[in-house]
A and B are shown apart, each in its own frame.
Chain A
């Protein structure tokens, strides 16, 4: 092994190896044979270094089905705390929800996510947030492939310079377009659900045959 390698792989915990092992398997080719993990995180802010995740919500999508029981929702104990964003999420530092440590949350998430494709609205933000947390806990980055519902949605729009296209589409814009109730905005699992429905409706418009059409 390269002597200056920063990674000392042997020190990684078992759950990480189990997670990694899933990536030896190839993803199925057909879109409908794939499981998608639709996720959303609530955070204290937008800084990858200063801010922390408060909650991770995720659900699994297989062949257009969401099994409610198999959804994922954890609240994370906080050291860093920002009173401003708490107003948005309503998650208080000592809230009554059962909280777990960041490491436990990551562990559970890895067990949940396996090698499935991660789907999110502005998914890279969530992934980077999780990666930052992984790093704090001495773990490598997520290995999953990702899909961003914003860019997928933009692909459904007509390419035309005629009408000024918006540059950005928020989750609210999508929810409005697809008439999805926005009641649960700003709870991680609620947002994940809205994202999942928006994802399904976008997929119906794009009609990709193979995974590679989607991931391109």
Chain B
């Protein structure tokens, strides 16, 4: 007896191997036996060495990380539609790896007893299983067999820094861009530009004849040697050097060096007499080598789908972890990571724009606010953003806003897909109160400045750390200017802003004990963000605004600038700069350790040294708080 849910499950499974080989009736039967499991982030699906469950698993939503127990090294991440934990059930052995929910995940658990008969009965399923297991006697979870064992995933990318990566087969692009001997150079160049590739394969009946790279066009056409109307044949490099598919990373690197070429053509059997199956570029090798910001950045820029970006972001997290392990200065780390985060957001905006049916009616600016705006967002935290669009005539205002709201909703959803949580207070451009024309924004900010109630102060403190991620910078500059002009006329605003900065509870109690949260879900945890990071960030903001310095958003940099501007307070400011970095690093470490935002810290989990380090920053927090209290005469404000 099928029901609505089992129908939905069947509907999902039928898209992925091996279930795509089943007939509809079988799949319906099987779906009825499924248990749907919701896994919270970081909960274990099965542990290493555990005896096999009665089910194997398919990821419906979210992601599951496979790793060796006790190691932070993730060997594989299973995404939507990937099957895992099947082999141990068939081989009747215990799990070789630990499977843990990498994010909030919904799994379908499929009982092996119901699956096995189907597998035996259905030849195609049997073949799938034999193929995927026979070929990977070594490591059942190796990246090599992802494509088979875990379902199709040529899109997904592994930036594993596995030491043995050299000997692993390398991913190559199978989407071939080809032309024939007679194609004109101009057409070829256009096609290469359109597909954003560096080379074009010349084929005859699917057999490779030659190759044309950017270099050929530069050397043979741009120099005037051949006209742009010449045929492919006249400029292509031929004969072509081909290799069999299944090259390892090391082999392909060698091959490129040996022949001094930047693209390898892969054919069925490695000769020019068989069909071309793919092209391997230097870029592919770089991506495989992985942990390199430049490569990640390029991969981000090439991404055309949010899903792909999500994979790249896993790579960014890996990179971050590596940096922290090697103790690279946090200033540098946060610059690089912020740059990558920024690029991802930018790419998301680009993708979203390309999916709208119309071009934007006027110029606009996408602002990142809060931690991303300050360039301090190392982990995936909430998204805070806003849109400014150019002024339009009154009668067009609402239609224009609607366009940008629609765009923002798309962007926001995609950002969510790649790992930025929605802002729980809804401070996102998809909210009409964060999607304004320039003059509306001027009005709104003026209102905040002239009526500095607690809410307005809170809004200002989030908003004033904005950073242009995409679009027309002039709009943001004009708004900044208007804000500064306004603030200079209302010095009382600083007093309020300063009082806002003092609002956050102090990090330590009377005896310099940690103050922990009293109730709620984080009872007995120390709130690092609220009690230590926010006061120091808020103080930096009010001080730097009072000096009318714009364009510096980063807290540590703000303090460095302040130290320069006020030599008599230099020592304190430098201490603050150091403290802000130390706290951020602390938060990031904690976040990476627990795969969360790192905001709440279980004090009993800290070692003595960490506690001392943390406490040392508290002294600085207290000092900077008393400085702004005195300077902006907060006491005079009805308290």
Contacts and interface: CB of A to CB of B under 8 A. Distances in A.
A and B: interacting chains: yes
Interface of A: 57, 59, 64-69, 71, 73, 156-158, 160-165, 177, 179, 181, 183-184, 187, 189-190, 193, 197, 200-201, 204, 206-208
12 contacts: A64-B39, A65-B38, A69-B32, A71-B3, A160-B458, A162-B425, A165-B426, A177-B422, A183-B8, A184-B4, A197-B38, A204-B41
A204 B40 contact: yes
A40 to B, nearest CB: 11
Nearest to A161: B455
A200 B34 CA distance: 18
B5 interface: yes
B38 A68 contact: no
Given A73-B4, A184-B4, A204-B104, A68 B9 contact: yes
Given A64-B39, A66-B36, A179-B413, A193 B5 contact: yes
A65 B35 contact: yes
B272 interface: no
Interface in B416-444: 416-417, 422, 424-427, 431, 433
Contacts of A183: 8
Nearest to B455: A162
Contacts, number: 86
A67 B459 CA distance: 46
Given A66-B35, A66-B36, A204-B40, 5 more contacts: A68-B9, A68-B34, A160-B458, A163-B426, A197-B38
B565 interface: no
Contacts of A206: 521
Given A68-B33, A68-B34, A156 B8 contact: no
A67 B422 CA distance: 30
B634 interface: no
Contacts of A156: 424
Contacts of A164: 433
A184 B459 contact: no
Contacts of B431: 163
B36 to A, nearest CB: 4
B95 to A, nearest CB: 19
Interface string B509-533: 0000000000001000000000000
A158 B6 contact: no
B423 to A, nearest CB: 9
Interface string B398-418: 000000000000000100110
B38 A64 contact: yes
A68 B106 contact: no
Contacts of A69: 32-33
Contacts of B39: 64
A68 B422 contact: no
B341 interface: no
Contact of B425 (A158, A184, A208): A158
A110 B35 CA distance: 23
Interface of B: 3-6, 8-9, 31-41, 61, 104, 106, 109, 413, 416-417, 422, 424-427, 431, 433, 455, 458-459, 521
A66 B34 CA distance: 9
Contacts of B416: 179
A57 B106 CA distance: 21
Given A161-B455, A190-B4, A68 B424 contact: no
Given A64-B37, A163-B433, A179-B416, A189 B459 contact: no
Contact of A189 (B3, B9, B106): B3
A186 B305 CA distance: 31
Contacts of B61: 179
A201 B104 contact: yes
Contacts of A204: 40-41, 104
Given A177-B422, A179-B413, A187 B4 contact: yes
Nearest to A204: B40
A4 B178 CA distance: 91
Shortest Cβ-Cβ A-B pairs, 7 listed: A66-B36, A189-B4, A207-B521, A64-B38, A158-B425, A200-B38, A190-B4
B36 A68 contact: yes
Contact of A162 (B5, B109, B413, B458): B458
Contact of B424 (A65, A157, A161, A193): A157
Contacts of B426: 157, 163, 165
A164 B432 CA distance: 10
A190 B7 CA distance: 10
A147 to B, nearest CB: 16
A193 B8 contact: yes
B427 A163 contact: yes
Contacts of A177: 422
Contacts of B9: 68
**Residue among A57, A59, A67, A179 facing the most chain B CB atoms (10 A cut-off):** A67
A163 B425 contact: yes
Contacts of B106: 197
A160 B5 contact: no
Contact of A68 (B32, B104, B413, B459): B32
Nearest to B425: A158
Nearest to B456: A162
Contacts of A160: 425, 455, 458
B425 A68 contact: no
Contacts of B32: 68-69
B380 to A, nearest CB: 16
Nearest to A70: B35
A193 B104 contact: no
A64 B37 CA distance: 6
A181 B36 CA distance: 15
A158 B424 CA distance: 6
Nearest to A200: B38
A68 to B, nearest CB: 5
A197 to B, nearest CB: 7
A68 B455 CA distance: 47
Contacts of A187: 4
A141 B583 CA distance: 56
B37 A65 contact: yes
A115 B431 CA distance: 42
Contacts of A73: 3-4
Contacts of B459: 162
Contacts of B455: 160-162
